[in-house]
Structure formats: C-alpha cells, structure tokens
Amino acid sequence: MDNRRIGIFDSGLGGLTVMKELMALLPNESIVYFGDTGRIPYGTKSEETVLKYTRSDISFLNTFPLKAIVAACGTASSIALPKLSGQYDIPLLGVTKAASRRAAQVTKNGRVGVIGTTGTVRSGAYSAFIKEENPAIETVSVACPMFVPLVEYGYAEKEAAKMIAKDYLQTIMDSGADTLILGCTHYPLLRKVIQEVVGDSVSLINPGECVAQDIYEQLAKDDMLSDAPEKDQYQFYVSDVPAEFVRLGSMFLERPISGLVSRIDIEKYN
C-alpha cells in the first residue's frame, strides 16, 4: 500500500478528461493536477519548446511526494516522453504509449487512424509505438487543430463541429481504418460527432481510459494502491489565473472542481 499522490499534468485544462478516468478507476487515489494554462497551446509549438515545458511541468510536480506521474497531454506524451523515459525515480506514464497498445489489440484489419494536434502528428510517436506492438499494422495520422477551440468555445455538439469533423476525418475513412485513436485531451468531448462521422464500425480509443488502466495495473502489481484518500483528495495548480480553469474545467471533468485551485510560477521550475 502506498498513499502518496499521483501527479498528472497537461498544457491546460484538457487533461481533466484524463483525470476523470483516473478518478473513476482509482477512487481511493489522491491526485495533484498541474495545468500549464499560462503557456498553452503545446500542440503548435516546436519539439524543443514542448520538451522544455514538459521538463518543467514534471519538476513542479516532483516538489510533491508522488508515486507516479501521468502525462495527460497528447502532445507532451508524443514529443517529450520518449526522450524523458528512465530519467525519473518514479514511473512516468504517457497517453500515447497506453493508447497505442490498446489500438494494436483492438484493430482487426490492421489499420489504425490517429488524430491529434499538429505536434503530435508531426512527432510520428503513435505510428512508432504501434509498430513496436505489431509491425504489420498501418497507421494513418491526421492533425485536427480546430477541434481544440471548437470544444473550448462550446461548439462540440453543434453542426459546425460535424462539418469540420467530416473534412478532417475523410482521410481516415478513406484508409479503411477500423480503429481510431482520439489522440488529444479534448477529443473525447467530440466523441459523439466523431462516431457519427466515421460510423459505428470504427472503434474509438480514448487514451485517458487506457493510461488509467495502465497505472491501475502497475500500482496493483507493485502493491502500491492507496487504501484511502488523503485530505483534499484532488488538488489543482495552474500557471495563469484560475478563474477560466475553474469555469471550463467542470465541463472537462464532468463535475464541479471542488478542490483547491492555486496559481504557481512555472518559470521557476526547469
């Protein structure tokens, strides 16, 4: 048993969709969340910048006594995590690897689609991880940069989202992929529209669910699950004013953000 917290970070509030999965699967765990709201977006930034930001996000989280860190951000997981693995004393898990493993198990025809930010797609991390699982699987990846603002501005269920989704997802449909990875924190909130566009025969993979399962299995195997939550079970930190995070965050977490949200100066950590 180990009652230390799990740390989780993202470029902003999208990672709350991943936190939601951790909370559902691991109700006894205490979690500290960092959202880099002052430096979002990561998806359009260069590799060096995403690597630098990811390092500092992890340095900040490491000021807490943690037992594991989860990179909820699709972009950080794809660009930075392959370069940082093995550099920390505690396990560092990312959504990209977890979702790749699941997709390789789920596909029946050996064709997997991936959608994510420009940075995630450019990194090629999904196709590399999937190839490690099974070299015979073909991956087709498409960047969908407009999905993030559509979600944040409340357009996820509107006709505009469907029109844009049809356009973005045409290449995936043409490829014949039977499995599609929702490779960005915001995309689970577009799940309904995406499923409508690609059709019910395509299995959608939510990386948040996959990484929650991975961390559960890893903690259970090492006898490191918590037996009871700590006081202030969920703590939130952001690098810009908390107001917007609190307002929009409840949409991502699908419950009010009841824990404490504090602002920190992320530039102090590197």
Alpha-carbon separation of residue 189 from 18, 35, 248 (angstroms): 11, 18, 13
Each residue 17-56 as x (binds ligand DGL by CB under 6 A) or -, in order, gives -----------------------xxxx-------------
Among 61, 69, 73, 257, binds ligand DGL (CB under 6 A): 73
- Phi, then psi, of 17 in degrees rounded to 5: -65, -30
The residue (of 14 and 242) whose beta carbon lies closer to ligand DGL is 14
- Residues 166-198 as b/e (b if ≥16 CB within 10 A, e otherwise) read eebbeebbebebbbbbbbbbbbbbbeebbeebb
Indicate the length of the chain as a whole number: 270
With contacts defined by CB under 6 A, name the span among 72-80, 121-129, 162-170, 247-255 that binds ligand DGL. Answer: 72-80
Pairing status of strand 5-10 against strand 234-238: unpaired
Point out the residue whose Cβ comes nearest to ligand DGL. Answer: 43
d(CA 95, CA 123): 14
The burial of 218, by beta-carbon neighbours within 10 Å (0-12 exposed, 13-18 middle, 19 or more buried), is given as middle
Least Å from the CB of residue 169 to ligand DGL: 18
Does 257 sit near ligand DGL (CB under 6 A)? no
Please tell me the count of residues contacting ligand DGL according to CB under 6 A. 17
Greatest C-alpha distance within the chain: 51
Does 188 sit near ligand DGL (CB under 6 A)? no
Least Å from the CB of residue 47 to ligand DGL: 14
With contacts defined by CB under 6 A, name the span among 160-168, 184-192, 211-219, 242-250 that binds ligand DGL. Answer: 184-192
The residue (of 30 and 120) whose beta carbon lies closer to ligand DGL is 120
Does 117 sit near ligand DGL (CB under 6 A)? yes
Which of 8, 31, 66, 73 does the annotation list as catalytic?
A: 73
Among 79, 148, 219, 253, binds ligand DGL (CB under 6 A): 148
Which of 98, 184, 194, 219 does the annotation list as catalytic?
A: 184
Token pair, residue 138, equals 């073909």
Beta strands in the chain (DSSP E): 5-10, 31-35, 66-71, 92-94, 111-116, 138-143, 179-182, 203-205, 234-238, 260-263
Alpha-carbon separation of residue 33 from 200, 207, 245 (angstroms): 34, 17, 12
Residue 97 contacts residue 131 (beta carbons within 8 Å): no
Does 248 sit near ligand DGL (CB under 6 A)? no
Verify whether residue 73 is a known catalytic residue. Answer: yes
Does 198 sit near ligand DGL (CB under 6 A)? no
Give the active site residues. 73, 184
Positions touching ligand DGL (CB under 6 A) are: 10-12, 14, 40-43, 73-75, 117, 120, 148, 184-186
